[in-house]
């Protein structure tokens, strides 16, 4: 059975850490994070084939829409979400790209709900050994966000 792959691209490392923790806590196993859209495109060229890409809009080098357009030209068909703290300023977004406001107090909850409604079901990792995310540094902020996320998910 194929495992779903999520690619998250945001130039803010703290956002990447929190989002990776959010998705792994929700049961998604294959989550790739990139703090540079050019590095993410390189990985796609090297064979990473995400089922869904979640990208910040405001980033250096490429904005989120430019990044997604480049990724789609390689992948052909991928579900996409753009995040921004100012969604009102984003124009000319194709209808197949979802937009979500990072400034919304329920941002993480709404993002999880959006991903689930995109026919992207959670595949539970049966051997998690009680650990939520082994690959990120557990800073106080990450631990606090993880605690809040887990309480909302249960």
* pLDDT for position 139: 54
pLDDT over 50 (residue 152): no
Residue 96: pLDDT band with limits 50, 70, 90:
confident
In sequence order, what DSSP letters do the residues of 6-60 get, joined into one string?
A: EEEE-S-HHHHHHHHHHHHHTT--EEEEES-HHHHHHHHHTT---SEEEEESS-S
Rounded distance between C-alpha atoms, residue 65 and residue 94, angstroms = 9
Question: For residue 1, is pLDDT > 70?
Answer: no
On the 0-12 / 13-18 / 19+ scale of CB atoms within 10 A, 19 is: buried
Domain ranges for the chain: 5-145
In CATH terms, 5-145 corresponds, of 3.40.50.2300, 3.40.1480.10, 3.50.50.60, 3.40.50.970, to: 3.40.50.2300
| Nearest one of 8, 7, 6 to 102, comparing CA atoms | 8
71 vs 53: CA distance, rounded Å: 9
Per-residue pLDDT at 11: 92
The answer on pLDDT for 27 being more than 70 is yes
Range in 13-17, 97-101, 118-122 with the lowest mean pLDDT: 118-122
Stretch 88-93: mean pLDDT, rounded? 70
CA distance 145 to 19: 10
The predicted-structure confidence for 53-74, as pLDDT tens digits, reads as follows: 999 988 888 888 899 989 988 8
């Amino acid at each position: 059975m194929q495992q779903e792959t999520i690619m998250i691209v945001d130039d803010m490392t703290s956002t990447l850490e929190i989002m990776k923790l959010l998705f792994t806590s929700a049961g998604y196993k294959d989550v790739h994070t990139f703090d540079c859209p050019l590095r993410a495109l390189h990985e796609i060229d090297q064979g990473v084939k995400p089922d869904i890409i979640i990208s910040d809009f405001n980033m250096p080098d490429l904005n989120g829409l430019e990044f997604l357009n480049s990724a789609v030209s390689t992948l052909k068909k991928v579900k996409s979400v753009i995040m921004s703290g100012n969604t009102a300023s984003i124009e000319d977004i194709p209808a197949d790209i979802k937009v979500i406001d990072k400034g919304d107090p329920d941002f993480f909850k709404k993002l999880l709900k959006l991903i689930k409604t995109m026919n992207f079901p959670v595949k539970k990792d049966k051997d998690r050994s009680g650990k939520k995310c082994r690959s990120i540094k557990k800073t106080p902020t990450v631990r606090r966000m993880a605690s809040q996320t887990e309480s909302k998910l249960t």
